[in-house]
Structure 1
Amino acid sequence: MAAATARKVRDAAILKADSSRNEETTAWCNRDLVPLPPSRRTWGWFNFFGAQSLGALNVATWQTPNTFLTQGLSVGQAMAIIVVSRFIVSLFACIIAWCGLTWHIGFTIQNRFTWGMRGAYIPLLQRCLLNFIWNAIQCWNGGKLVTVCLTALWPSFKQIKNTLPDNVPTTTSEMVGFTVFWLISVPFLFIRPERFKKPFFISSVGCGVAMLAMMIWSLAVAKGVGPVFYKGETVSSTSRWSVSWLMMAGLNQAIGQKVAGMANESDFSRYSKDHMAFVVGTVSVQWIVGIFVSLGGLVTTAACQIIYGKIWWNPPDLMMVMMDDGKGSSGARAGVFFLALAFTFAILFQNVCGNAVAGGIDLAGVFPRYIDIRRGAIITFLATWIIQPWQLINRAATFVTVLSSFSVFLAPLLGVMICDYFFIRHQKVRLNHLYHPENSDYWFAHGVNWRVIPCWIAGWAPTIGGLIVSVGGMSSAPDALFQLYYTAFFTGLSISFTLFYVVNLIFPVKGAGEFDPYDDWATFTPGEAAKLNIVPNDNAEELPHIRLGASGYDPDSEQSRQELGLKS
């Protein structure tokens, strides 16, 4: 009886596949891992603009200049770091995304032709861990904004009695805000990525308007900006590090904060209708909008320095001060409520897409039979309660530093990915071999490409020492360890890229530069197939012609009803 029940549970848990739509559910494949057909590639440049905006229109970007100013750099030097780092992030985001734009596969599958079908679990598990932790931290940050909203509605909420034990490093009001944010986020986990476009647009515009309104208000009230805006360089001549090294460290840190998202750009670029849609949408936000958000945060903070006589870099803290200074008036509370609400929904959709959905995609690659994007996203969100972000944020100040420094491991990963796709395989991939291990060129030795692992380790081995001494506060460590760590992104990527190229020259891989002659998955439009020199599938589709901001689906069609889990 128990065995029969277990079989029924297992059969119910196995994902169902629609073979008429070229879907499979195997140990290596499910509907969210197959190359996306044109009907699911619905994102245009403006949709990527909205999606990427959530990575720029947020608290972290707003606060970025503070990091560099507190190290003694001038405002000009801090902004120079932001401009250069965001250009580099935009460049590598497009490079990594190119495979998804061309072959319509994500990070999960992309790594199989580099690491091997089993070896790909190494980068996947790294990404899963990061997604779990960053999702939990972003939920906590979103909860802080919800706390501001609740305080604006009911001022007495701020004085709510703390009923939590002394060993819990947070308060009842913060936990209420966190719980509300978590609950509000859950319904959005059931929306498939190809249907995220309207929420992206609304939340990004709302947050952009809120930031602009906050800056205009502060300038109007202060009638100028405070001393922090004109801050000059204050690095002492006796400092251990010169300005050049501080700027290099800042550049590495700024890139490191974005490298986790850069690594899995293919997960989202595969939803693009064409290459330029992704490039224009991504560069316009990651570089241009990101720069203006950081500058806007600096201007607003400098103006508020005059108004309140103190520097407030963190928007939730500043909003609380704005309510206090307004003596709790209805006007001050209403303004703060709408500001906090706009920030809340921006961080909500950024977290759902950038962490929960990304986590769902990675988990789907680890357990294809049982987990799709939706189930994986739900698991990632449930893990928030196990990780307990209030413990990480409030007790372990160095923990977030460690997470931001994960570029030590991810930069070498980018190095081997770029080298393999562009220089070893010359942008040619055998899609069938990515999903069927039998006689696959990507099975290598027992499912692992032995060439990549030592090249990846060689990329982070020289910089891991600097990470350890930096986090451990070992100031007496040799300068060389710190300097290698301050160049971790460039050092790790370059070493792994070069070694992987040399190793593949000495030990060539089988099938490099080859591709399937026929489009078995009905992935490509006739035009795309002609460019790739592939025979198109008999059931090949054209890309849908949709208006700006539309979802790409007819809500009354049978396909859309199946997507939404509705009965026809």
Structure 2
Amino acid sequence: MGLRNRLASIDQKIRLRGNDEKHEQTDAWSNRDLIPLPPNRRTWGWFNYFGFWAIASLNLANWQTPSTYLTMGLSVPQAMLIIVISRILIALFSTLIAWIGLKWHIGFTVQNRYSWGMKGSWIPLSQRILLNFIWNAVQCWNGGRLVAVCLTAIWPSYARMKNTFGPDMPTTTDQFVGFVVFWFLSTPFLWLRPEKFKTPFIVVCVWCGVGMLAWMTWALSTAKGVGPLWHSGQSLPAGSPFGTSWLIMAGINQSIGSLAAGITNGSDFSRYSRNRRSYIYGTIASCVVTGVLVSLIGLVTAAAAQKIYGEVYWNPPDLLMRMMDNGNGSSRSRAGVFFLAAGFAFTAMFENICGNSIAGGIDLAGLFPRYIDIRRGAIITFVAAWVVQPWQLINKATTFIAVLSSFSVFLAPIIGIMACDYYLLRKRRIRLSHLYRTHDSSYYFWKGVNWRAIPAWICGWAPTIGGLVVTVRRDLNPPKSLVELYYMAFLIGFFISALVFYALNMLFPVYNMDQIDDTDLYGTFTEAEARRVGVAPFDEDSINGVAAGRRSLDNIVIVEDGKGGGR
């Protein structure tokens, strides 16, 4: 009994506590960070969304994007065409998925409950959590590279640090120290809630944006123009089985796929918007315009640097080290490099926290609502970087990183199911109260799982998984049809899963899919929003009655009736 009492005491201490007066119930399906956000917590304006997408643009990966397409044999105009088209599609798909957060103020974690079932939603959640763990670790390692550049700019001897690791360790001491410093400097920002992100967004946009423009200006001024890289024409490999059109399609698919995880969690952040215009203006301005400009600046800078140094440097840390002669340059060059590397590092830091750690925290909260909120989940995701050991992934398992980059094969079908269910089947109508309970819930389906989502999801990735395998294995003569399907993996996965899910719901209908609550039970909407949605405004007395009923019915399991709906 003593041990049982101690365990019970520990359990009570680590459980989350919500503010009952604000209807932040904490139980098996809900906590403060999962409930529909009330108006007082919706603090994001257009600049927040501009900053949100800016940190996904002002980074090393986007800077290097043109190099990917040039190495495929495409010309500079064709590479920029891919970037423009893919950025427009990313903005459209993101808005498509984020719209439920703008209207109903719930995120991806809860959004999947009405498509997959209350327990079935753990399938897409688990995929996202795994990705967040690994990408958080990888981004910490990449940020550590930039920190190493900063340390070299301050102490030139840092680059000549003796490697104290043995031959079995796939990294060097200076790289590992950069990772450790980056990890510890990032940690305090985990305590910052998404409602308070505006100031870091401003710092990131100004610092890194000005730094990139200054870098490009310096390179053009020093080189007195751009180098041969800027004038690169089409140079497809002789005997290539794929023409220009297929390579452009592959580039668009790769570009969209690289941000597929960000597309899925669009509603996680759109629910913080003060109004719909803020999200639309900020997303379009930053996702499209900033995304294209950063790639263009990276291309121009790399072309000018080619004229200065005689070779192409696509990786910013490598170019920065070359600019200060590996720490042996003048104090002016080292100061300039420090400013640029620190801007990139801070951007990488906040991109990682917002896109991976916070997103991972939200998803973990969906699995363990009683014990994990956004902050705790973000800390768990960040600590997991030590378990993942990114130095092993980056320096040894290049194939594994390629698999992660292609994970959109599995995410695109999830996005297709989400879009089909919300827009076509439910007609943009959600019964919010049924997303937070199992008893008498329309979204419990069969034993908590909507079986229709599983075959729809599998049908979405089955045609393209073969192409993923042969591409990652780098087969010399893979079947052309498999590779062509893989080059369209995102669009194929999205539309096939959407069509299959729609067909299954027509053949095996779930009745009353377009029902909504009669009353605003969570204080989610302003009076104007309640009228637009079609629910009665928030009423304190009715809420208290519902909350008491929910507590008494918590964790009661139901069975599905013969018609596919819960009762």
- TM-score, normalization: structure 1? 0.94
Partner secondary structure for residue 149 of structure 1? helix
Query: Aligned partners of 1:165, 1:18: CA distance in 2, in Å?
Result: 53
Give the distance between the partners of 1:528 and 1:95, measured in 2 at CA. Answer: 20
Q: Distance in 2 between matches of 1:504 and 1:329?
A: 68
* Matching of residues 254-265 of structure 1 within 5 Å: 254-265=255-266
- Percent identity between the two aligned chains: 57
> 1:488, CA displacement in angstroms?
0.4
Separation of aligned partners in 2, 1:11 and 1:22: 20
- In the other structure, the counterpart of 2:250 is 249
Corresponding residue for 1:419?
420
- Quote the Cα distance in structure 2 between the aligned partners of 1:533 and 1:258: 34
Aligned partner of 2:480: which letter? D
Corresponding residue of 2:393:
392
Q: In the TM superposition, what is the alpha-carbon distance from 1:539 to its structure 2 partner?
A: 5.9
CA distance in 1, matches of 2:59, 2:203: 14
Which whole-Å CA distance do the structure 1 matches of 2:166 and 2:374 have between them? Answer: 37
Task: Spell out, residue by residue over 1:9-58, the C-alpha distance to the aligned partner (whole angstroms, 9 max, x if none).
Answer: 11111101110011111110100000000110000001110121000111
* Structure 1 CA distance for aligned equivalents of residues 363 and 351 of structure 2: 17
Report how far residue 70 of structure 1 moved.
Answer: 0.6
| Whole-angstrom distance in 2 between the partners of 1:236 and 1:345 | 39
Q: Structure 2, unaligned stretches of length 5 or more?
A: 542-567
* In 2, Cα distance between equivalents of 1:383 and 1:432: 33
Match of residue 513 from structure 2: 512
**2:456 corresponds to which residue?**
455
1:444 partnered with 2:445: yes
* Aligned match of 2:193: 192
3-state SS in 2 of match to 1:29: coil
* 8 Å CA contact retained: 1:51, 1:201: no
Distance apart, 1:327 and its partner CA? 4.4
CA shift at 1:507, angstroms? 1.6
Alpha-carbon distance, 1:509 to partner: 1.3
Deviation of residue 230 (structure 1)? Answer: 0.4
Deviation at 1:236, TM superposition (A): 3.9
Change (3 A) 1:471 1:236: closer
Q: Distance in 1 between matches of 2:28 and 2:372?
A: 11
Q: 2:77 corresponds to which letter in structure 1?
A: G
Alignment correspondent of 1:80: 81
Hey, what does 2:19 align to over in structure 1?
A: 18
RMSD between aligned alpha carbons? Answer: 1.1
1:326, 1:332 within 8 Å by CA — same for their partners in 2? no
Map Cα deviations across residues 79-105 of structure 1 (whole Å, 9 max, x no partner).
110010111000000000000110000
Q: Is contact 1:51-1:197 (8 Å) kept?
A: no
Matched residues in 1 for 2:88 and 2:278: separation? 18
**Is it true that 1:238 corresponds to 2:239 in the alignment?**
yes
2:129 corresponds to:
128
Report the alpha carbon displacement of residue 477 of structure 1 after superposing the two structures with TM. Answer: 2.7
Contact 1:24 1:31 in 2 (8 A): yes
Q: In the alignment, is the contact (CA less than 8 A) between 2:156 and 2:328 conserved in 1?
A: no
**Alignment partner, residue 275 of structure 1:** 276
Match of 1:63 in 2: 64
Flag the 1:473–1:244 CA change in 2: closer, same or farther, 3 A.
same
Contact 1:144-1:174 within 8 A present in 2 as well: yes
Q: 1:213 maps to which residue? A: 214
CA drift of 1:527 comes to: 0.7
Q: Is the 8 A contact 2:150 2:341 kept in 1?
A: yes
CA drift of 1:319 comes to 0.4
**Alpha-carbon distance, 1:351 to partner:** 0.5
1:2 Cα deviation (Å)? Answer: 2.1
Q: Per-residue deviation at 1:328?
A: 1.9
The residue type equivalent to 1:247 in the other structure is I
**Structure 1 partner of 2:103:** 102
Q: Which residue of 2 aligns with 1:358?
A: 359
The answer (yes or no) to whether the contact 1:97–1:269 under 8 Å persists in 2 is: yes
Instruction: Assess if the C-alpha contact under 8 Å between 1:17 and 1:31 holds in 2.
Output: yes
Residues 432, 516 of structure 1: 8 Å contact kept: yes
The TM-score normalised by the length of structure 2 is 0.94
State the distance in 1 between where 2:245 and 2:442 align. 46
1:145 equivalent in alignment to 2:136: no
In the alignment, the residues of structure 1 paired with residue 217 and residue 477 of structure 2 have an alpha-carbon distance, to the nearest angstrom, of 46
CA–CA distance in structure 2, aligned partners of residues 3 and 499 of structure 1: 49
- The AA in structure 2 aligned to 1:422 is Y
Q: 1:326 to 1:121 in 2, by over 3 A?
A: closer
Contact 2:156 2:326 survives alignment (8 Å): no
C-alpha distance 121-244 of structure 1, shift in aligned 2 (>3 A): same
- CA shift, 1:206, in A, is 0.7
CA contact (8 A) 2:416 2:495 kept: yes
Q: What one-letter code is carried by the residue in structure 1 that aligns with 2:20?
A: S
CA distance in 1, matches of 2:348, 2:277: 26
Deviations along 1:270-326, one digit per CA (max 9) or x if unpaired, are 000011111111111111110010000000000000111110001111000000088
Distance (Å, rounded) in 1 between the aligned partners of 2:342 and 2:87: 27
Which residue identity lines up with residue 381 of structure 1 in the other structure? F
Report the CA distance between 1:246 and its aligned residue: 1.1
Larger displacement relative to structure 2 (474-483 or 322-331): 322-331
Contact 1:222 1:306 in 2 (8 A): yes
Q: 1:317 to 1:236 in 2, by over 3 A?
A: closer
Q: Which amino acid aligns with 2:349?
A: L
Quote the residue 1:547 is aligned against.
none
Amino acid at match of 1:355: N
Structure 1 residues 325 and 437: alpha-carbon distance in aligned structure 2, compared to 1, 3 A threshold: closer
CA contact 2:417–2:457 (8 Å) conserved in 1? yes
CA contact (8 A) 1:90 1:282 kept: yes
- 8 Å contact from structure 2 (residues 140, 179) kept in 1: yes
Could you tell me which runs of 5 or more consecutive residues in structure 1 were left unpaired when the two chains were aligned.
Answer: 541-568
Paired residues, number: 540
Deviation sequence 1:453-502 (CA, Å, 0-9, x none):
10110010010011111111223331111111111011111111111111
Greater Cα shift, 208-217 or 198-207: 198-207
Matched, 1:118 2:109: no
Q: Is the Cα–Cα contact under 8 Å of residues 356 and 381 in structure 1 kept in the other structure? A: yes
Amino acid corresponding to residue 461 of structure 1 in structure 2: A
Distance 2:540 2:517 in 1: 17
* Equivalent AA in structure 1 for residue 128 of structure 2: R
Question: Partner of 2:349 in structure 1?
Answer: 348
- Residue 537 of structure 1 aligns to a residue whose secondary structure is coil
State the match for 1:473 in structure 2.
Answer: 474
Alpha-carbon shift at residue 397 of structure 1 (Å): 1.4
